Amino acid sequence: MKENIILTKKDRSVNGTMHLTGSKSECNRALIIEALSNGKVKVKNISDAADTVTLLDVLSHKSEVDSNNSELKTQDLRLVNIGPAGTAMRFLTAYFSFRDEEVILTGSERMKQRPIGILVNALRDLGAHIDYTENEGYPPLRINGSLGQQQKEKISIKGDISSQYITALLLIAATLPKGLIVQIEGDLTSRPYVEMTLAMLRQAGVQHQWIGNSIHIEHQEFRETSLPVEPDWSAASYWYSIAALADEAELFLPGLTAYSLQGDSVITEIMANFGITSQFKDDGVYLKKEAKPLSRKIFDLKSCPDLAQTIIVVCAALGHDATFTGLETLKIKETDRVLALQTELAKIGVKLVEKGQVYKLDCSEKFIPRSVFIHTYDDHRMAMAFAPLALIIPKIEVEDFNVVEKSYPAFWEDLKKVGFEVEVSPLTP
């Protein structure tokens, strides 16, 4: 049975220190690099996010080996089930493609609905042996890495679907006999995530050339080093939204730096529009709410789509009719995040109107109910984006509180530290 969380907040003041888990984005890249380096690279500050724990288990050979399932038809074929971990699905598809191993790579029912054909086609072009076991273009995948032999050194891949496809290829590039040239077609969405990947590879001794839309990584060895993982800026974004909806807010987030590899660190600039100042000192960042009229009307989230739900909910709660662009990838995430936002925002009378690739908030009929139930759609970011509404709505009930374990397991406990009352309810409407 799914258990829900009921949130209340007696006042609109927040003050405290939050120690955030390591970045899931950084950590997942670091773990793949560590595995490819054959022990030369060591990861520090491993995240306790469920997605990262899943990936670590797979790379540590703690995932399931199914030798009895007749449908698999191969004795001792390794069955790797990554559940809802989308990053792990993309990274492991590339990782297993040229390893001396044959696996079935599968996931949750939602994962089986998330397309992966673009990455599979690119890997097949390189010489990988990958078959679909159910529906063409979607997991599960049967990957026979022992048959994979690099056929070419240059491939083209669309840049406006998912930067994780590109990252998956870049992570394995240095281990390929001929290296790899990735030619990016069209616009590159979530560019900071690709830059993060290349920066982490460089820390591990892997050099690259990025000229125009072409990224070239030659075959080369990793060097012995450690990869420290910074606290998660995506998790920090929820504290920025809490500060934005509070009347008074003073928060300290240790370990975060002004010069982060994480693209979501742009939340400092975005939330400055909502009167949230960010002061970096004492090996962390101090957040403070200051009175400031909100005037920014257009938010381009192309480089940071994981912040979309947080920012859109804040604007809706404040009755700010903002316009958003760069949301193209939201429909293929853990859920269709555009539809999920439209459905849940309607509960406070706010419309998110889609016109092509432009999305506009209409807050003209916004109201504040006494209580509201928020469906999460098995999406951790829906739960954490809507939870701050407890600052303006007397009672918020959030479906399936365990969903936050995917990226920020301590979220509900951390809310208690700043005065939120958190009660577990066993019933799902």
pLDDT in tens, 397-418: 999 999 999 999 999 999 999 9
- Among the listed residues 232, 306, 379, 400, the single catalytic one is 306
Q: For residue 22, give the DSSP letter.
A: B
**What confidence tens digit (pLDDT) does each residue in 295-309 have?**
889 999 988 999 999
How far is 251 from 259, CA to CA, in rounded Å?
A: 19
pLDDT value at residue 76:
64
8 with 90, same domain?
no
267 with 310, same domain?
yes
Find out whether 14 and 241 touch, Cβ atoms under 8 Å. Answer: no
Beta bridge partners of 396: 7, 372
Q: Considering only CA atoms, which of 144, 148, 147, 149 is closest in space to residue 74?
A: 144
How far is 234 from 186, CA to CA, in rounded Å?
A: 27
Alpha helices in 214-278 (DSSP H): 233-245, 267-272
Q: Tell me the residue range of the domain where 68 lies.
A: 24-228
246 with 218, same domain?
no
311 with 163, same domain?
no
286 with 413, same domain?
yes
**Residue 16 reports pLDDT greater than 60:** yes
The count of domains in the chain is 2
CATH number at residue 401: 3.65.10.10
**What confidence tens digit (pLDDT) does each residue in 19-51 have?**
999 999 999 999 999 999 999 999 999 999 999
307 with 393, same domain?
yes
E strands along 191-349, which residues? 209-211, 214-217, 225-228, 248-254, 276-280, 284-289, 298-300, 323-325
Catalytic annotation on 306? yes
**Of residues 148 and 300, which shows the higher confidence score?**
300
pTM, full prediction: 0.84
243 with 127, same domain?
no
**What confidence tens digit (pLDDT) does each residue in 360-395 have?**
999 999 999 999 999 999 999 999 999 999 999 999
148 with 248, same domain?
no
